[in-house]
Amino acid sequence: MTRPRTVLIVDDFEDNRAMYAEFLRYSGFEVIEASNGLEAIQKATSAVPDVIVMDLSLPVLDGWEATRRLKSDDRTRHVPVIALTGHALEGHSQGAREAGCDGFLAKPCLPETLLETIEKMLSRSGGGGSRPSVRSRVSKRVGGGA
Amino acid sequence: MQRSAALESVGRRSLAQRADPRVALADALLRCEDVADCAQVAVEYVVRHAGAREVLFALRVAEGDTARLVGVTAHGIEASRVSGLRADLDDQGDPLVRALLAGEPTELRMATGDGGSPRLRLAIPIPCQSGPERPPDALLVVSPPPKVGPELEWFIEAMGRELRRLVELERLRGAERLLARERALLKSVLAAVPDPVLLTDPEGRLVIANPRAESYLASQDDESEGRRRAVALNNMLLSASLSRGVIAGTEEVRRELPLVDPSDGSDRLFELMSTNIETPDGLGIVSVLRNVTDLQLAMLEVEENYRKLRTAEAAVRAERDRLDVIIDAAADPIVVSDANGAITLMNTPAERLFTAPESAPPDEVRRVRANDAHLSSHVANVFFAPGTRFRGELGLVDPKNGQPVPVEAISGTITSEHGELTAVVTVLHDRTEALEKARLYEQLERASKELEQKVHDATAELVRQNELLRRQQIELEQASNLKSQFLANMSHEFRTPLNAILGYTSMLLQGVSGALAPNQRRSLERVDSNGKHLLAIINDILDISRIEAGRMPVHLSTFEVPGLIREVLAEVEPLTLRSKLSVRHEIATKLPKVHSDRPKVKQILVNLLSNALKFTPRGSVTISVARHRSEHELWISVADTGIGIAENDQERIFGDFQQVDASPTRQYGGTGLGLAICRRLADVLGGRLKLVSRIGQGSTFTLVLPIKSRKK
């Protein structure tokens, strides 16, 4: 059997983070949590999850910037990022897409809705937990920027 | 010459007929043209046949009252002596006169001219006429004296006969010459007359005409056709005119006779004067024509001038009549005065000031006189004033009531063409009205200025107010933006905890934390339901704030309405199934595609349909689409048979957070923001939302949608 897939949940509001984490673990995922953008980058680069769920309004380093850095890092560039925001205003989703987010969900978002989206994202990016082989190929060019 | 020819012939004949010289003489005498010829023949005959050496032929000639014996020709005598013979027949002392008067041949012993011894001569008187009372006409003196006998007597008689003939001939010739002279004189006199003068016979034929008359009445064959015709015409005209005169039998005829000038064909008018005269050939008519063409023209001109004068006079009269009318029509008093200052003409308004009826009260008469005096004084000034205009102000009074009538008098003078002043025209302009007008005008101007100032002040105030309003508007906009921003932030702040509530509730209900007891599940379902309601409210509030902040994005696309309706019906299907209502749709055929914001139209329709289903306990809900008459609009109506909305609630329900029943115990759910949002969205799309409703019978909400929407 394949090893359990890993989801990085980034949210500064602990209740939401805990709620999604509980539901995803319940649904069979391994869950890593981060409460700000900087922490999200550190955990993503060290653990390299299969998918990242990113709240955009974050302290220390916001979700957009964190996503941009992750997408410019060879180690994490391939990891799908699902933006999750309570801001329903126009421009948020657009900004998220520009920053490199692969999916977008508006709060309130029921845990089962998030699960659906994650499943869809993973099946599109090739499924499983295997890392894409392209990683070593492009690492030299980008260097070790965090 | 003739004489010598006669002599020669006498000579030749005497040679041929030597037998009797008397035949030659008779022959020669017959050839004589005049007395001188005859005298010559006689002298030569005596010399040749009687052997005479000296012969003198003298003739009795009448010179005025005296008769003389004059030498005519001679032989053997000096010519000077012949021509010197001019003896008076009354001079009885003259031997030759005595010899002539003796009546028979007489011997004379006379001294010769050269002073020699006297010679015997025979004086032979030759009587030319019968009758003793008349002395002989010629005397032939011959020396030496011829023999007196039958031969001499024959000679005397032959000579006498011949002389008589010649004298008679001479007399006739003289008369003829006289006649010719007189005729020439008459002709030149006639020719000198500038008028045509002519004599015609009773048939009208021209007998005598002077050149002037001939130029009109006579033509030659070699002259032009035109001239000949003109002459023929003139003759006809003249004959006709003369014959009328003859028939009329008047002694002297004067009448007009039109003729044609043959030289240029122009018409000429003559006055014909003709008189009948007796001529040796019978009755004749003497006519004198006087050219009166110019006279005729002059007369025509005079007539024309007279006619013009009459016309001008009529025009002047008409002008005067018109002037009268104008003067009478003028509202201002007008007075015309003559050169003496007396009023000759005035119009009705002037009459009111300067005349009074005889029955008028004394005061009125007095006022009229006073007015008259004012006017007279003014007019008198006009006479002495230079120029043709004079202006003055007169203080007249109304004769009827004595009210002052201040007038401005403007006078003009009328002068004849010789520069004499003939009339003064005075127009009186009532200044009462003018003064009143001036006063009113001043008031008006003052009022106008005040008004202007007020308008100015008001305008300034308005500008100030506008500025204030503009500032307030900016402030309001800023406030509104702040509000929208605040609401957007609030919505975010709401969503975050709501996310956890709804998430945990959902997880619990799914049994993530284990199985639930039925009462636990019921409680959790209520938490879930209220959480979702709260979310709906938050979403609606966000929509409204976005629309009001003008930040509601509009994405236009072109789409078919029937497809949209189907989508809407599918979306509300859960509600439909729950309501057990009959849901119908009536969609017109040939609907145009709509260019609008599809999701927003859908949002509006879902909302309307949800409302209809929610507020209709029984009956039906019908959604219909039709093109409106205006062609530019589509009407999408949602009609229900529900509870309906009272008229005074119909406006209220479009307000925020409004339901008809706003009490906490209300029967129907919903945020109460749905219609408020629908109306705002319709507005954003350039359309509007209409409501027709009667309580207890149902409501019809209609979305009036422009077929081609424009971004606001």
**Domain boundaries of chain A, sorted by first residue:** 6-142
pLDDT level of residue A44 (50, 70, 90 thresholds): very high
Radius of gyration, CA atoms only, chain B? 78
On whether the CB atoms of residues B276 and B265 are closer than 8 A, the answer is no
Which residues of B, range 526-585, sit inside 8 Å of A by Cβ?
535, 539, 542, 546, 551, 553
Does A90 sit within 8 Å of B499, measured CB to CB?
A: no
> Would you say residue B258 has pLDDT above 80?
yes
The answer to whether residue A130 scores a pLDDT higher than 70 is no
The answer on pLDDT for B53 being more than 70 is yes
Whole-angstrom Cα distance, residue A13 to residue B229?
Answer: 146
User: What number of residues does chain A have?
Assistant: 146
**Can you give the length of chain B in residues?**
712
Q: Does domain B193-291 have CATH number 3.20.20.80?
A: no
What tokens appear for B330 in the block? 């003028």
pLDDT in tens, B569-627: 888 888 888 888 888 888 888 888 889 988 889 989 998 998 888 888 888 899 999 88
The pLDDT tens digits of the residues spanning B291-332 come to 888 877 888 888 888 999 888 888 888 888 887 777 777 778
pLDDT of B168 > 70? The answer is yes
CA–CA distances in Å: residue B562 to residues B459, B654, B685:
55, 27, 19
pLDDT at A24: 93
Residue B144 preceded by cis peptide, ω within 30: yes
In the prediction, which pLDDT does A2 show? 61
A137: Cβ contacts below 8 Å, ≥ 6 apart? none
Predicted pLDDT of residue A49: 93
Q: Write down the ipTM of this complex.
A: 0.77
The per-residue pLDDT of chain A, averaged, comes to 79
Query: For chain B, what is the mean pLDDT?
Result: 81
Across the interface, whether the CB atoms of B506 and A111 are under 8 A apart is answered yes
Residue A44: CB atoms within 10 A of its CB come to 24
pLDDT for A38 equals 92
Q: Are B499 and A109 in contact (CB under 8 A)?
A: yes
Chain B: residue whose CA lies nearest to A108: B499
A107 near B CB under 8 A = yes
**What is the C-alpha to C-alpha distance for residues B685 and B691, in angstroms, rounded to an integer?**
18
Handedness of CA A19, A22, A28, A33 (dihedral sign): positive
Instruction: Specify the pLDDT at position A132.
Output: 38
Residue A22 to residue B553, Cβ atoms within 8 A: no
* Other residues' Cβ atoms within 10 Å of the Cβ of residue B35: 23
Tell me, what's the pLDDT at A52? 94
**pLDDT tens digits for B382-415?**
877 767 778 888 888 888 888 888 888 888 888 8
Specify the CATH class of B553-706 in words.
alpha beta
Phi first, then psi: give them for residue B609, nearest 5 degrees.
-65, -40
Residue, of B128 and A69, whose pLDDT is higher: A69
pLDDT attached to residue B43: 87
The verdict on a CB contact (< 8 Å) between A26 and B551 is no
Min Cα–Cα distance to chain A from B583, Å: 31
- Name the band, by pLDDT with cuts 50, 70 and 90, for residue A40: very high
Of residues A2 and A139, the one with the higher pLDDT is: A2
Give me the torsion for CA of A129, A133, A138, A139, rounded to 10°.
Answer: 60
Entry pTM? 0.40
Contact state of A110 with B502 under an 8 Å Cβ cutoff: yes
For CA atoms B497, B500, B503, B509, the dihedral sign is negative
**Residue B659 confidence (pLDDT) above 80:** no
Architecture of B2-177 per CATH? 2-Layer Sandwich (3.30)
CA B108, B109, B115, B117 torsion-angle sign = positive
Side chain identity, residue B701: F
Please report the number of interchain residue pairs, chain A to chain B, with beta-carbon separation below 8 angstroms. 64
| Residue B565, number of CB atoms within 10 A of its CB | 19
Closest residue of chain A to B510, computed from CA coordinates = A112
Q: From the CB of residue B87, how many other CB atoms can be counted at a distance below 10 Å?
A: 21
Q: pLDDT tens digit string along B175-186? A: 888 888 888 888
A143 in reach of chain B (CB within 8 A): no
Min distance A27 CA to chain B CA atoms (Å): 9
Closest by Cβ to B500, choosing from A15, A88, A89: A15
Window from A36-40, A94-98, B186-190, B359-363 with minimum mean pLDDT: A94-98
Give the separation between CA B660 and CA B327, rounded to whole angstroms.
Answer: 85
- Cα–Cα nearest to B300, from B267, B339, B263: B267
Both tokens of residue B7?
């002599």
Q: Are B419 and B430 in contact (CB under 8 A)?
A: no
Task: Dig out the tokens for B618 from the structure.
Answer: 């029984």
pLDDT band at A10 (very low <50, low <70, confident <90, very high): very high
Which pLDDT score, from 0 to 100, does residue B116 have?
A: 56
Give the position of tokens 């997408």: A71
Q: Does B68 touch chain A (CB under 8 A)?
A: no
**Quick one: pLDDT at residue B247?**
57
Burial of B446 (0-12, 13-18, 19+ CB in 10 A): exposed
Q: β-pairing, B421-430 with B557-559? A: unpaired
- How far is C-alpha B590 from the chain's CA centre? 73
Give me the percent of chain B exceeding a pLDDT of 90. 4
Dihedral angle, C-alpha A56, A57, A59, A64, nearest 10 °? 40
pLDDT at B657: 58
Q: Which residue has the tokens 């025509």?
A: B300
Find the mean pLDDT for residues B50-62.
Answer: 84
Residue B188 has pLDDT above 90, yes or no: no
pLDDT at site A41: 92
Per residue in B514-568, pLDDT tens?
A: 888 889 899 888 888 888 888 888 878 777 777 777 777 788 899 998 999 998 8
CA B147 to chain centre: 115
C-alpha span between B607 and B536 (Å, rounded): 12
For the segment B49-71, the average pLDDT, to the nearest whole number, is 83
Closest approach of A116 to chain B, Cα-based (Å):
14
Average pLDDT for B138-145: 85
For residue A20, the model assigns a pLDDT of 92
Sheet containing B421-430, strands listed edge to edge, beginning at the edge strand earlier in sequence: B343-346, B334-338, B421-430, B404-415, B389-397
pLDDT at B348: 83
Band (A136; pLDDT cuts 50, 70, 90): very low
In this complex, the residue of A23, A108, A109 whose CB is nearest that of residue B512 is A23
User: What's residue A140's pLDDT?
Assistant: 35
Q: What CATH number has the domain spanning A6-142?
A: 3.40.50.2300
The H-assigned helical ranges of B54-137 are 79-83, 95-102
